[in-house]
Structure 1
Amino acid sequence: MAISEFFSAADVILDAGPGNKATLLDLLASEAAARNGQSRQEILDALRAREQIGSTALGKGVALPHTELQAVNTPLVLFARLQRPIDFDARDDEPVDLVFLALWPASNRKGLLSAMSEICRALRDPQAPRKLRAAKTAEDAVQILLQAVASETGPCDGPL
């Protein structure tokens, strides 16, 4: 399932203001819970558990926190652009200001990997993150991402 099938302006948060990684994950869990009816705490616990394995920061100011949940039936991808970059324990030590959250049904692991790969490939174009940082509206951000996804076809290996 391509992210273009379910990602829309309603899934975009521009100029979010969390001051640290913990607050950001809490914000994303709250936003996701409001959209998919899951418990905010269940989502937050799953995101924290995933971050304990290792940071989901991709580098160059981008993070892709993700998790699979048993009770989720439909995938959810959120995009948040932060007002100020925050430390996300990135390998390149760059703070993060562009964040994509992917929540996926545990029964469809292949779909999660495909969506994450799509996002990662799109962000390999150095213009995509620059344009996302400058997007004026949620609709603009969606178009920027979907255009970048459509133009990228290669594999996503390693950091950005």
Structure 2
Amino acid sequence: MAITELFTAADVVLDAVPAPASKAALLDLLAEAAAARSARPAPEILDALMAREKIGSTALGKGVALPHTELAELAEPVVLFARLQRAVDYDARDDQPVDLVFLALWPASNRKGLLAAMAEICGALRDPQVLRRLRGAATPEDVARIVLQAVARDEADPDLIKDPDDPPPGI
């Protein structure tokens, strides 16, 4: 299932109040939002997210994180986006705090689907202009449009969106 089939303005949280003050508080906020969209309880989702973070931080760098996990009893994938009023420390390799977060919860029976969804999200977020536009988006509808356009553009031409810090192909 592609992100374009899953992600809508209803899956966007802009400037959550109260603003999470830590990575743990952010994951708790995301678990609560995901529980409202699935038949799984928030504590189960939070436990799975925390277990995944123990393996290694899901921060991508440049202020972006992609917490993700598989759940055995999840019927349908859940993809959420949150933009934070105040960035939080997320143990990122580049030491930048995180203010843009995509959450991907996936049924454990469809592991390939999770990898494909994460690849779509990461591809869309390679463009610094997409990150800038997400940080300035006024509404959830704007966020959904920005993300879906970036995913579609990246799928049409994966070499079109390149981060200036990425090495040239073949290196």
Question: TM-score, structure 1 length as denominator?
Answer: 0.95
Q: CA deviation at 1:37?
A: 1.9
2-structure distance, mates of 1:121, 1:6: 16
Query: Are 1:29 and 2:8 an aligned pair?
Result: no
Structure 1 counterpart of 2:25, which letter?
Answer: T
**Partner residue, 1:120:** 122
**Partner residue, 1:15:** 15
What are structure 1's unaligned runs of at least 5 residues?
none
- Counterparts of 1:37-116 in structure 2, within 5 Å, are 37-116=39-118
Structure number with bigger Rg:
2
2-structure distance, mates of 1:152, 1:30: 31
Question: TM-score, structure 2 length as denominator?
Answer: 0.89
Number of aligned residue pairs: 157
1-structure distance, mates of 2:48, 2:129: 32
Q: Secondary structure at the match of 1:152?
A: helix
Q: Secondary structure at the match of 2:15?
A: strand
2-structure distance, mates of 1:31, 1:123: 22
**Stretches (4+) displaced over 3 A:** none
Q: CA deviation at 1:146?
A: 0.5
What are structure 2's unaligned runs of at least 5 residues?
160-164, 167-171
Deviations 1:47-95 (A, max 9, x none): 0000000000000000000000000010010000000111000000000
